[in-house]
Amino acid sequence: MKQVKPEILEAFCLNILKKHGVESQCAQTVAHCLVDADLCGVSTHGVSRLAIYLERLDAGVVSKENRITIERESPAALVVNAGNSLGMPAAKFTMEKCIEKAREAGCCFATVKNSNHFGAAAYYTRLAAEQGMVGICAANLTSKIAPYGASEPYMGTNPISIASPGEEGAVVLDMAPSVVALGKLIMAQKLGKPIPEGWALDKDGHPTTDPAEGRKGSLLPIGGPKGSGLAIMIDILCGVLSGGKFGPHLHDLYGDMQNPQEVGHFIGAIDISHFVDVDIFRSGVAQMSREIKSLRPAEGVSEIFMPGEGSDNRRRKNLEQGISLPDEIFGELLAIGKACGVVFPEE
Task: Name the strand (E) or helix (H) holding 323.
Answer: strand 323-325
- Verify whether residue 32 is a known catalytic residue: no
Task: Name the strand (E) or helix (H) holding 327.
Answer: helix 327-339
Task: Name the strand (E) or helix (H) holding 78.
Answer: strand 77-81
Number of Cα atoms under 13 Å in the Cβ half of residue 22: 29
The amino acid that residue 37 corresponds to is A
Output the CA torsion sign for 89, 94, 95, 101: positive
DSSP state string for 7-59: HHHHHHHHHHHHHTT--HHHHHHHHHHHHHHHHTT-GGGTGGGHHHHHHHHHH
Catalytic residue among 117, 249, 265, 274: 117
- The 8-class DSSP code of residue 319 comes to H
Cα distances (angstroms) measured from residue 180 to each of 159, 199, 219 = 10, 7, 8
Active site residue ranges:
117
